[in-house]
């Protein structure tokens, strides 16, 4: 599921992300998205945003906006 979700976002965001990616950290925008999204499905239910999304307490829009903020934060460093 993480890979499919990352792939979907990568399809729409890769051209925006790639030129701003930090050198040497992630090879591709897909790797960056997989890392961010994968982290959100680890840990205790009700704590991570991805798990909240699966539980239904976070909408898809809210979850995607959270991922977008995480990407922006990484790219602005």
pTM: 0.87
pLDDT at residue number 77: 78
Task: Tell me the pLDDT tens digit for each residue of 62-76.
Answer: 999 999 999 999 998
Element (H, E) at 55: helix 49-55
Task: Tell me the pLDDT tens digit for each residue of 1-22.
Answer: 889 999 999 999 999 999 999 8
Task: Tell me the pLDDT tens digit for each residue of 27-59.
Answer: 999 999 999 999 999 877 668 999 899 889 999
pLDDT at residue number 9: 96
pLDDT at residue number 43: 78
Q: How many folded domains does the chain comprise?
A: 1
Domain limits for position 28: 2-75
């Amino acid at each position: 599921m993480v890979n499919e979700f990352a792939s979907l976002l990568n399809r729409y965001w890769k051209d925006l992300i790639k030129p701003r990616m930090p050198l040497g950290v992630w090879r591709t925008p897909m790797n960056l998205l997989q890392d961010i999204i994968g982290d959100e499905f680890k840990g205790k239910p009700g704590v991570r945003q991805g798990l909240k999304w699966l539980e239904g307490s976070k909408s898809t829009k809210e979850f995607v906006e959270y991922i977008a903020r995480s990407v922006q934060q990484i790219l602005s460093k």
